[in-house]
Amino acid sequence: MSDLEFGLDTFGDVPEDDSGKPISYAAAIRQVVDEAVLADQLGVDVIALGEHHRPEYSVSTPETVLAGIATRTSRIRLASGVTVLSSDDPVRVFQRFATVDALSHGRAEVILGRGSFTESFPLFGYDLRDYDVLFEEKIELFVKLLDEQPVTWSGTKRAPLENADVFPKTESGHLTTWVGVGGSPQSVVRTARYGLPLMLAIIGGAPERFAPYIDLYRRAAEQLGTTAHPVGMHSPGFIADTDEEAKELFWPHYRVMRDRIGRLRGWPPIRRQEFDAEVEHGSLYIGSPETVARRIAGAIRSVGVGRFDLIYTAGAQPVSARMRAVELYGTKVIPLVRDILAS
C-alpha cells in the first residue's frame, strides 16, 4: 500500500485562539500556512485549500495562499479543493495555477468543481440559472488549455478564443488537474470523458455507497477510450489524543457550522445522536489516532481509492487543537493506516 497518498484539506475556517476568541481573517490565513508547513515537515503528501466567499472562512483565493505556502515548503503538493470553475475564468485559473507550479517547482494541482455553495455566482456576476452550462463550457475550455498550445474555442457564456496562446507555461508541460464530484453520475461520466482524475467529496453517510461511482468512472473511461486514474476521496474529521477529547473539541463548533448551512438549505438542526452515529458509522473521522486510522483504512478498502484527504477543519476549532490534529495525522494516523492495510 506504499502507493497510497494522504492529504489534508481546509476551507480556512476562522479558528478561535486559546481564550475562545475568533482570530482575524489575516491571522487565519497565516495559520493555514503554518499548518501546511507542519504537514510538509511530517510527510503529508498534499495540502488542499477550498474556495469560499462566506464570513466563517478565510480562504477565498486558494492559489494565493498556496503561493505563500510554496515559498515555505519543499515537498508537499499544493492543491485547491475545490476551485469553483463555473464562476471563474478558465484562462485565469490556468495562469494562476501555472504560477503556483513555477513557485513550487512543479507541485501545483487544481481540483475543479461546481462548489457546494453558490455565493460566488452573484458575487462575480453569474446567473445561477446557467449553473450547468457554465461548468460544462468552462471545463471544456480548461481541458484544451492543459495542452499548453494555442487554443481556438467558442461557447455561449464567455468570449471566444482564436488561436490564443496562454502564459505562463508550466515547466513540465503538465498541470495536474482533478475534478471534484459530490455524487452526480453525470459528473462522474464527464470526468471520465475528459480523462481527468476523480476526487469524491464524501461528507456524510456510509462511505461504501460511493464505490459504484468508481466502477462507473472506470467503465465510462473504458468505453470512451480515456484513462481511468486512481480515484481520491475527501471527508471531514478531527484528531486528538483521545476519542472523547476529539469529539468534545469538534462537536460544538461543527454544530454551529452545520446548523448555519442547514438554515440555508432547509435542514433541521443537527442532534448530538446524529453526530455520534456519523462518527461511528458514517463519514466523520473523529477520534484518537488509532480510531481514525482504523476508520480511514476501512473507508479506503470499502470505496477503493488511492488517495484519502482529511478535511481537518470544520468550524472554529482552536488554533492549538488544529495544529495538534495536523501533527497526529502526519506522525500517527498515516503510518497506522498503512500498517492496517498491509496486514
pLDDT tens-digit series, residues 83-130: 999 999 999 999 999 999 999 999 999 999 998 789 999 999 999 999
Q: Which residues contact 37 (CB under 8 A, 6 or more apart)?
A: 69, 72, 73
Residue 190's CB: how many other CB atoms inside 10 A?
Answer: 19
Q: From CA 48, how far away is CA 17, in angstroms rounded?
A: 23
Q: State the sign of the Cα–Cα–Cα–Cα dihedral 25, 100, 235, 115.
A: positive
pLDDT digits (tens, 9 = 90+) for 172-192: 999 999 999 998 999 999 999
Averaged pLDDT, 15-29: 96
216 has pLDDT over 70: yes
Name residue, grid cell 483565493.
Answer: 61
Averaged pLDDT, 217-235: 97
Tell me which fold the domain 5-342 belongs to. Answer: TIM Barrel (3.20.20)
Q: What percentage of the chain carries pLDDT values higher than 90?
A: 96
Amino acid identity for residue 286 in this structure: I
Q: How many CA atoms lie within 13 A of 75 on its CB side?
A: 9
Whole-number pLDDT of residue 1: 47
Domain ranges of the chain: 5-342
Name residue, grid cell 498491509.
Answer: 342
Give the mean pLDDT of the chain: 96
